[in-house]
Amino acid sequence: MSLLTVKENIGMVNNSNTDMASLVQANKNIVFDTKDLNLWYGETHALKDINLKINEKEVTAIIGPSGCGKSTYLKTLNRMVELVPTVRTTGEITYKGQSILDKSFKVENLRTRVGMVFQKPNPFPKSIYDNIAYGPRIHGIRNKKILDEIVEKSLRGAYIWDEVKDRLKENAYGLSGGQQQRLCIARTLAIEPDVILMDEPTSALDPKSTLKIEDLVQELKKDYSIIIVTHNMQQAARISDRTAFFLNGEVVEFDVTDTIFTKPTDNRTEDYISGRFG
């Protein structure tokens, strides 16, 4: 997909209920549709009236200052947020038309389709091979030959195969931080999800490893819908097609990345992007 087509599909959604975005986006498949989402941690109102439509096979960046709710929103998309016992939500999120916040929607099935890469590389203290094979195995794939193929394919997909192919049996903790993070991406690829959520995936990495991951994201969007939370604005500008700006639990502005960074409509977005706060 060229940059041109993105520009043709300019969409705009913000919580002042401008609903023209859905009209403009009509020729794109929507993977996540969030309607009036509210979320509380105990008494803390962490997400307020979120309305977002996220397109398939694009990179959507979520930016905003610390504590603005961007990570919380990301973790709501695969319901990882439920690991916090006091969490409560209202509103609706649909994933390809199915309502996922409903308790009857099996969270394991959701997470099989919606993979996640975390802030800090978190490989299992197992071999590189077993890390990649973890997902397929828990989902019932036990055939050794098939697993071998999945492992190679996933590692190639995350562009780390050449670095680790000779030491698949070694503990993943022997890898560098950047390699560990690409291993974690490969681990996510192994179950071939539709969506990959990335929660500040490069914040613990050095600039060189960061660039490698960014290149990888560009490759991956051919096959996957990617939603990436970052507080690195250059990163959002470099790699994303659309950007949502979160502040105090609200979506201030959601637009094509170019627009957000060149002519934002909201003063607060402009202040944030020009570095006046956050």
**Binding stretches for another protein (CB under 8 A):** 78, 80, 83, 85, 108-113, 115-116, 118, 120, 122-126, 134-141, 146, 149-150, 153, 156-157, 159, 173, 184, 187-188, 190-192, 215-216, 218-219, 222-223
Please, which residue, 109 or 274, has the CB nearer to another protein? 109
Cβ nearer to another protein, comparing 125 with 207: 125
In whole angstroms, the minimum distance from the beta carbon of 142 to another protein comes to 10
CB-nearer residue toward another protein: 19 or 43: 43
Instruction: Let me know if 51 is exposed, middle or buried by CB neighbors in 10 A (0-12, 13-18, 19+).
Output: buried
CB of 111 to another protein, least distance (A): 4
> Smallest distance, Å, CB 195 to another protein?
12
Give, as one character, the DSSP assignment of residue 26: G
Residues paired with 244 in a beta bridge: 62, 254
Nearer to another protein, 19 or 108 (CB): 108
Measured distance CA(268)–CA(244) in Å, rounded: 13
DSSP at 201:
T
Pick between residue 9 and residue 78 the one whose CB is nearest to another protein: 78
Min CB(263)–another protein separation in Å:
31
- In the sheet that 225-229 helps form, which strands lie side by side, from edge to edge? 114-117, 195-199, 225-229, 59-63, 242-247, 250-256
Return d(Cα 257, Cα 33) in angstroms, integer: 19
The least distance separating another protein from the CB of residue 153, rounded to whole angstroms, comes to 6
Helices then strands (H, E): number in the chain?
A: 12, 10
